[in-house]
Amino acid sequence: MNSNLLIQAEGLYKTYGHGEGAVTALNHVSLDIYDGELLVILGSSGCGKSTLLNMLGGMDAPDEGTVFFDGKSIFSGGDSSMTRYRRNTVGFVFQSFNLIQELTALENVRLTAVNEERARKALELVGLEQRLNSYPSQFSGGQQQRVSIARALAKDARIMLCDEPTGALDYETGKQILNVLEDLCRGHHKTVVIVTHTKEIGRMADRVVRMRNGGIIETTENPNPVSAKNIEW
C-alpha cells in the first residue's frame, strides 16, 4: 500500500431532522485514506457508514468538518466544487446497479466515459468485452454489477467508493465482484473503499474501520490481506 495520503476527512458531523426528532448520523468522524489502498468500512445498518461514504464522495455535505482531496477541501467551492469532484475523481458502485434498461452495456458505460475507447477498456477490465451490445435484462445480477463497476471506472476515477456492492448478489457472485474490486486495487492501482456489514470481507482489506452509532470505534491494519477468492462468510 502506498503511504501517500489521498483523502482526509476531518471532524465530520451530520444530523438529520430537527429538535427532539434529530438523528446524529456522523459524530465528528475523522479518517485518512491512502493512495492505492483497499479500505473496508464495517458496521451494522444505521451506524453511519453509508453517510460517511457519501461525504467522502462529495454526494452530501456535513454540518461541520470537511473532506480534503489532495490537500483541498471538496466543499470549499459549494455545489460546483462537489460536482467537479464527483465527475472527475470518484467512481460509485452501489448495491442497486442503477443501469438504464434501454441501453446496452457499452452505452451505459459510455455515459461516464470521455470516449468509446475508454468505455470498451473499462468493460474489458471487468471481463465483459464479449457482451458490449447486451442489455441489462440479458445479464445476471453479477454481470450487471460488473457493468456498474465499469461505468465507475470509465471516467478513470482515482477512488472507487462501493456501498454494499455484494448486497444484492448471491454468495458466489458476490465473491466474483470482490475479486474484480481486488484486482482494480492491486493490479490497476485504484483506491477502493468498500462499505459492508459483512465482517469477513474485511479480511481482504489493508485496513478495516469499524463504526457504531455514527462514530469510528476501531481501525485495524492488516499486514497480510487475504485474497478475495479465499474469503468465506
pLDDT-derived band of residue 215, with 50, 70 and 90 as boundaries?
very high
For residue 232, CA distances in Å to 127, 177, 199, 222 come to: 23, 14, 10, 17
Residue 18 has pLDDT above 90, yes or no: no
pLDDT-derived band of residue 176, with 50, 70 and 90 as boundaries?
very high
pLDDT of residue 78: 85
- Summarised one tens digit per residue, pLDDT across range 46-62 is 999 999 999 999 999 99
Residue 170 has pLDDT above 70, yes or no: yes
**Mean pLDDT to the nearest integer, 190-214:** 97
Residue 91 has pLDDT above 80, yes or no: yes
Residue 156 has pLDDT above 90, yes or no: no
Tell me if residue 196 falls in helix, strand or coil.
strand
Using the structure block, give the residue that is written with the C-alpha cell 455535505. 61
Which of 46-55, 164-173, 190-199 shows the lowest mean pLDDT across its residues?
Answer: 164-173
- Which long-range contacts link 178-181 to residues 24+ away (Cβ below 8 Å)? 178/204, 178/228, 178/231, 179/228, 179/229, 180/126, 180/127, 180/146, 180/149, 181/38, 181/93, 181/149, 181/228
Q: Please name each of the domains of the chain with its CATH number.
A: 35-54+89-230 (3.40.50.300)
pLDDT of residue 81: 87
**Mean pLDDT to the nearest integer, 217-228:** 96
Residue 229 DSSP symbol: G
pLDDT-derived band of residue 19, with 50, 70 and 90 as boundaries?
confident
pLDDT of residue 3: 72
pTM above 0.75, yes or no: yes
Residue 189 has pLDDT above 70, yes or no: yes
Ramachandran sector of residue 8 (left: φ over 0; alpha: ψ -120 to 50; beta: rest): beta
CA-to-CA distance for 189 and 120, rounded, in angstroms? 19
pLDDT of residue 2: 57
pLDDT-derived band of residue 71, with 50, 70 and 90 as boundaries?
confident
CA-to-CA distance for 229 and 233, rounded, in angstroms? 12
**Mean pLDDT to the nearest integer, 200-220:** 97
Average pLDDT, the chain: 94
